[in-house]
Amino acid sequence: MIKGQEHNVTLVNVSQLGARITAADTGALTRCDDLWLIVAGLRIPARVAWADGGTAGLRFATPIPRKTLARLRVDGAPAEPRARLEASAAGWPGPLVQHRSAGTST
């Protein structure tokens, strides 16, 4: 994934440690790519653990808090399946979770 690129993805599942995503273009992802998962007004730093066809697994830089996880899930499924990936410059992309401003769309 090239710095500055963004990819629209579907969040299939999410846990405190990571997430599974699908997209037509996950082939652009390679193992160990560092990126941001942008969903529900949050920017969560993650690393690609694996990618296969249109599916990829992400590992979060650090576990996300249960309260944040509850915000992302409803009855065990993602509350907001639409998400984006944004490439990071290098290494883990920063603080655990950044809240986007209310005026910023996800």
Residue 106 lies in a domain: no
- What is the domain-level CATH number for residue 44? 2.40.30
Q: Are the C-beta atoms of residues 56 and 25 closer than 8 Å to each other?
A: no
Residue 62 lies in a domain: yes
Question: Residue 3 pLDDT > 80, yes or no?
Answer: no
Residue 95 lies in a domain: no
CA distance 68 to 96: 11
Residue 68 lies in a domain: yes
Residue 96 lies in a domain: no
Residue 97 lies in a domain: no
Exposure on the CB side of residue 93, measured as CA atoms within 13 A: 24
Residue 103 lies in a domain: no
pTM to 2 decimal places: 0.78
- Domains of the chain: total: 1
Structural domain containing residue 78 = 6-90
Residue 39 lies in a domain: yes
Digit-coded pLDDT (tens) for 13-48: 999 999 999 987 656 788 888 899 999 889 999 999
Digit-coded pLDDT (tens) for 89-100: 555 555 455 544
